[in-house]
Structure 1
Amino acid sequence: MSRMPHPLKNAGAIAALLLLAGCGASDVREVQDWMNEVKKETRVSVKPIPEPKTFIPFAYTARASLDPFNANKLLAELALAAQNSNDRLKPDLTRRKELLENYPLDTLSMVGTMEKGGKSYALIQLDRQIFQVRPGQRIGQNFGTILAVSDTAVNIKEVVQDAGGEWVERLAKLELQESKESKK
């Protein structure tokens, strides 16, 4: 069976071809002429780029001077201020230290108490040695003085420098350490 082409379909195709033929090269030629004319009339004006500034290197001469943020400088200033201060809490730095002043408090432990001649003594252990201490004695590296001895603790007053270089008091305590045998 053969089909015959429908006359309306052919008419539509012919009309489309005629429309496309009307858009020929004549419109494109007009646009090209107009573009060429605008190019001829337009003058380009570009400002010249300014000359770059000349670089003058900076010679850093402060390399030999002291760094203002150096910790040693701060410590030296604090030490100088501490020497010149009339602070009532300032410890005597020229005094001869007692034996237990050479050790920090966290290396010392209280292991017991005893009473001798009506006075209470604390038994302080350092490594494997036992020392007897009483109120008024010096202990620890922060200019500590023993204030009181009780059955459970040794109360200590330490004198330390704060961030501003002022001497301040602080309280510390060595508490009784229970032996391993009593825990069984």
Structure 2
Amino acid sequence: MRRFALLGVCLLLTACSGGEHEDLRQWMADETKDIRGRIPPLPEVKPYEPAPYDAGNLLDPFRSAKIEPEHRKSGGGGMQPDFNRHKEPLESFPLESLKYVGVLLKAKASYAIILADGALHQVKLGNYMGQNFGVITKISESEVALRELIQDPGGEWVERVSTLQLQEKETGK
């Protein structure tokens, strides 16, 4: 019985595979013979030529010696900060965290108003601020100038001039 059922299924399948769709196959062959992809040709590849790089005589950007001193004193005595003097409150803050927010003029003397960690501080010429022994040398309406002492890799103390610019009022808080 199984054999007859299997034989019947095979007979039905072979009957469906007749050549009655030959015209459809011919039409598909005619239509696809003229179809071609339109891909532009590849551009000519130019060989890579590396740029010459000679870094032997350039400064190393990761060395601390790249700090250029504005004024270097040579000799045995040289500049040196006074380690025995009493530190002022603004010397515990990095110079980058201090903001110059105003100037106060009284009795022909200029006082700068410095914002540090949410508190206002009044400073004058000769006061110290920043962590590099920075002494205030000039106070104007637009900036405060400092002379800092930093140590170069050779252990020598060098001067560097830094400024704090007047900060405009912040809006939108």
TM-score, structure 2 length as denominator?
0.54
**Aligned: 1:176 with 2:166:** yes
Whole-Å separation in 2 of the counterparts to 1:88 and 1:129: 36
- The Cα of 1:128 is off from its aligned counterpart by 1.5
Whole-Å separation in 2 of the counterparts to 1:137 and 1:153: 15
Q: One-letter code of the match for 2:147?
A: K
Identity %: 44
Note the aligned Cα RMSD (angstroms): 1.6
TM-score, structure 1 length as denominator?
0.51
Whole-Å separation in 2 of the counterparts to 1:130 and 1:116: 17
Which consecutive aligned stretches of 4+ in structure 1 deviate over 6 angstroms post-superposition? none
Whole-Å separation in 2 of the counterparts to 1:133 and 1:97: 14
**Aligned: 1:121 with 2:111:** yes
Whole-Å separation in 1 of the counterparts to 2:165 and 2:77: 31
Aligned pair count? 98
- The Cα of 1:157 is off from its aligned counterpart by 0.2
Contact persistence 1:161–1:167 (CA under 8 A): yes
1:160: which partner in 2? 150
2:49: which partner in 1? none
Alignment of 1:146-157 (within 5 A): 146-157=136-147
SS at match of 2:83: coil
- The Cα of 1:117 is off from its aligned counterpart by 1.3
Q: One-letter code of the match for 2:163?
A: K
1:132: which partner in 2? 122
Contact persistence 1:103–1:140 (CA under 8 A): yes
The structure that is helix-richer by fraction is 1
Whole-Å separation in 2 of the counterparts to 1:120 and 1:94: 27
- The Cα of 1:179 is off from its aligned counterpart by 0.5
SS at match of 1:151: coil
Whole-Å separation in 2 of the counterparts to 1:94 and 1:180: 39
1:5: which partner in 2? none
| Structure 1: gaps of 5 or more residues | 1-84
Whole-Å separation in 2 of the counterparts to 1:138 and 1:175: 17
Larger Rg: 1
SS at match of 2:87: coil
| Structure 2: gaps of 5 or more residues | 1-74
